[in-house]
Amino acid sequence: MIEVTCKHCGSTNVVKAGKIKLKSGEKTRYYCKDCKKYFTVMDRKIKDKILNLLDEEKTISDLKDEVKAHHMTIRACLKELINEGNVRAYEKDGKKFYVKNEYKSKNEVKNEVKKTNNVQLQLSKIVTFVKSKGYATLDEIKELLNIDNVALVKRMILLLVDEGLLSIKVSGLIFRKEYIVWTGE
């Protein structure tokens, strides 16, 4: 038996409270003993249908036409899907669009490519600099990239170390100094 939870407070202290007639047919009505509110449970078929349609960005009116359900039903399903983390909403040109969470708009893809290209460019700058000099300090690489975030620079260097292009050498016993050394070809 499926356990019903209150859609208002999340309690499982719920009892059946008769039926309610809707255009789409009869639905079981529930009563929450904790928050003292009545509610019906969303039809999973409609939610699944909406989720399948959201491979592309859609508005509520687009979904209404395709699902053949009332706009308030669509809105309630979308709210539940958003709360479950399956769907996200955003505004574009004054309209609200809904899409599956794993879907990425063209702008999001472009931004990811820009970030990736920027990181690749910075990594190649590091390799070129260390290769030309033979070695470099962390401070020199920070200055080269114009990045104050030491952790970010170290992660970039470690990426190149993992690829076998650079290595880290330590010199000095008292004043420990790390050098980034070219190991590639």
What is the C-alpha to C-alpha distance for residues 26 and 40, in angstroms, rounded to an integer? 10
Q: Is there a contact between 157 and 126 (Cβ–Cβ < 8 Å)?
A: yes
pLDDT digits (tens, 9 = 90+) for 103-121: 566 666 667 666 767 888 8
Q: Do 98 and 112 fall into the same domain?
A: no
Q: What is the CATH number of the domain that holds 24?
A: 2.20.25
| pLDDT reported for residue 30 | 92
Is the four-CA dihedral 162, 167, 172, 173 of positive or negative sign? positive
* 72 Cβ contact partners less than 8 Å away, ≥ 6 residues apart: none
Q: Do 47 and 95 fall into the same domain?
A: yes
Q: Do 175 and 111 fall into the same domain?
A: yes
pLDDT digits (tens, 9 = 90+) for 145-181: 888 777 778 888 888 888 888 888 877 656 666 777 7
Q: What is the mean pLDDT of residues 53-71?
A: 87
What is the C-alpha to C-alpha distance for residues 144 and 86, in angstroms, rounded to an integer? 42
pTM summary value = 0.43
Q: What is the CATH number of the domain that holds 129?
A: 1.10.10.10
* 113 Cβ contact partners less than 8 Å away, ≥ 6 residues apart: none
**How many domains is the chain partitioned into structurally?**
3
Please state the three-class secondary structure of 142-161 as a single string.
HHHHCCCCHHHHHHHHHHHH
DSSP 94: T
pLDDT digits (tens, 9 = 90+) for 65-113: 888 888 888 898 898 888 878 888 888 888 898 888 775 666 666 676 6
Q: Which of helix, strand or coil describes residue 126?
A: helix
Q: Do 90 and 29 fall into the same domain?
A: no
What is the C-alpha to C-alpha distance for residues 101 and 109, in angstroms, rounded to an integer? 14
